[in-house]
Amino acid sequence: QNFKVFFFSVFIRSLLLSPRLYLYDQKYNTTVILRNINILNELFSILLAKELGIMKQPDPFKWTNQIVMNCADIDIITASFVPEGGEEINATGFNYQNEDEKVTLCFPSILQKGSGSLKIDFVGELNDKMKGFYRSKYTTPSGENRYAAVTQFEATDARRAFPCWDEPAIKATFDITLIIPKDRIALSNMNVVDRKPYPEDHSLVEVKFATTPIMSTYLVAFVIGEYDFVESQSSDGVTVRVYTPVGKAEQGKFALEVATKTLPFYKDYFSVPYPLPKIDLIAIADFAAGAMENWGLVTYRETALLIDPKNSCASSRQWVALVVGHELAHQWFGNLVTMEWWTHLWLNEGFASWIEYLCVDHCFPEYDIWTQFVSADYTRALDLDALDNSHPIEVDVGHPSEVDEIFDAISYSKGASVIRMLHNYIGDEDFRKGMNAYLLKFQHKNASTEDLWECLEQASGKPIAAVMNSWTKQMGFPIIVVDQEQHGSDRVLKISQKKFCASGPRNDENCPNWMVPISICTSEDPSCTKMKVLLDQPETTVNITNIAPDHWIKINPGTVGFYRIQYSTTMLESLLPGIRDLTLLPVDRLGLQNDLFSLLHKQADMQEEKNRIERVLGAIPAPDLIQRVLNFALSVRKYTHTLTVENRSDCGNF
């Protein structure tokens, strides 16, 4: 709890940091002294030194005598600016804008063009709020309560540890040194380059870390505490450690296995190597987030990282595999390339929420993880996005404080679902080409959603931006209505779209249209897509050649499209053999039942829908299908009070 940060060296590069000041070449050199974490409400003091380059701005702006920085829960004692080759200028005042979490440093004279050093002496508190730089309480094997010192900076809490420009587009390199009790472990983003006794106090050691790549402030991390660890190396030579509470190293072995398999998978998939020499995964006792992708030092709740090999179930192992896969995906998509502003956070999280399943499916194919994706993220997103109070995936963020309010299951689960649909629409080969181009073009920089669409568009030759904007910038999704007619050896499909609403059908002339990638398979090969079409209008007709009258047609194989499907009675009847003999894959049976259940919620003809569903359930479903039926049986009770007595009886009988 009693620690001192006494030196930062900062160069700011090509960024507007106040209305009248450009700074460039940003670099943080940070030393933290931590003596005793266990003292409550102890203040910490920091002397912050920043070397700055000040460049003249074009008119109408003039020179300034002010510097504006992000700052929260910190009291500045003194500040001064020393121009290169000039005399020190002491700040004459500090204006705190607490609501905006900013401070303005006021100087008595103009800050001239050229290099210089900004020094700030200030105090703050190692808090118990689980954000910024805080104390995490844990219990030792002997039953004693102790504390670790932990950071959690996303979205905007680096400013609670030190004054900075705390925005994702203002990147920097960081040199971090931690001076800590010699019986504690110190971790940070990079590998240790030196550890030696601290000359001023022999009970302390000084731990110096290598310089980080250029990165955003929200990804900086350091942890001081007592931990055990297990270690391995990935096949591409990255040192991987999993840090656990003392005495629980055995519980970190599964996460270690996942991480050592995951890193090479992402390296191969993106064709971009992991850029750091090591990665640490650490279980934190008091941790508000599920996990945090700090570059090179990923923090987790204990339940999201630790697996007791003697007392764990398959679902727990699958959950750990998914969370590890999610956070390691961010090491490329989020850390190497970072969103330029929080409006684009949905893409970071939606992408990681999709590719975690792709990674786990590759590393652990026995999990049948895509069926679980459909029963979890996909189904949850459809259920929520059908409500009248839903919202678009992409929502403008005016202030960082809005981040937690805006980003929810719509942003994450629907985001993952539409990216999965996009991947299927483009094809894996072109998708990977586009991702590689995006990561190489914007590595160590910032990018927007539109930048990714442009790279994928160039790789695939398809109208990615137009397609995806219809899914990310408007709320809701369509229901695809399908009917068929047989003409000789050809099958003609009539396909139309309209907005799906849980509250019932809408006859709104201004109802939006989506650009809907539609895949079609047949009973000839249910695992292979026979045809793809892009439905970019309210309705269309599709002709499928060389298909026998007794063959069935299935829309949306793999349940990858983010929409509901309403089949005509004849089409649904034709699918029954594929359901009964299990030639339809579990994920397709799940998607089919899910769509039929949703039609009940729309209060369609209960008897007709009941009969349809009873026929669909004629086959023995996979375990996930049973769970979906049970979930539906519980949820449908919520709707029975709105039905007529006759329909309520039908529903009860079903």
- Binding residue ranges: 326, 330, 349
Residue the block writes with tokens 């998914």? 322
**C-alpha distance from residue 161 to each of 73, 123, 470, 632 (Å):** 8, 9, 41, 48
* Secondary structure E strands in 329-451: 337-339, 445-447
Q: Is the dihedral of CA 578, 581, 583, 587 positive or negative?
A: positive
Q: Name 509's Cβ contacts closer than 8 Å, sequence gap at least 6.
A: none
CA angle 56, 444, 163 (to 5 degrees): 60
Single-letter amino acid, residue 118 = L
CA 87, CA 73: separation in Å to the nearest integer? 31
Question: Any idea which residue has 């070449």 for tokens?
Answer: 25
Q: Is 394 a catalytic residue?
A: no
**Beta-sheet strands, E only, within 375-528:** 445-447, 478-487, 490-499, 516-522
- The Cα 560–Cα 374 span in angstroms is 8
Residue 521, beta-bridge partner list: 554
C-alpha torsion angle, residues 237, 213, 458, 420 (rounded to 10): 70
List the binding residues for Zn(2+): 326, 330, 349
Which two tokens mark 198? Answer: 């601290």
Asked if residue 321 lies in contact with residue 314, where contact means CB atoms within 8 angstroms, the answer is no
Neighbours of 607 (CB within 10 A): 14
User: Cα 521 to the chain's mean position, in Å?
Assistant: 32
Taken as a whole, the chain contains a residue count of 654
587: helix, strand or coil? helix
What are the respective helix, strand and coil percentages of the chain, to the nearest 5?
Answer: 35, 30, 35
Q: What residues does 176 pair with on adjacent strands?
A: 30
Residues of 40-59 as b/e, b for ≥16 C-beta within 10 angstroms? eeeebbbbbbbbbbbeebee
Q: Which residue among 101, 327, 457, 609 is the active-site one?
A: 327
Tell me the β-bridge partners of 332. none
| Longest CA–CA separation in the chain, Å | 92
Contacts of 601 (CB under 8 A, 6+ apart): 502, 635, 636, 639
**Residue with structure tokens 């030759």?**
461
The H or E element spanning position 613 is helix 606-616
The tokens for 631 are 């979930």
Sign of CA pseudo-dihedral 395, 398, 400, 402 = negative
Cβ neighbors of 97 (< 8 A, separation 6 or more) are 103, 104
> 464-472 vs 415-426: helix axis angle to the nearest 10?
160
> Would you please indicate which residues are annotated as catalytic (active-site) residues?
327
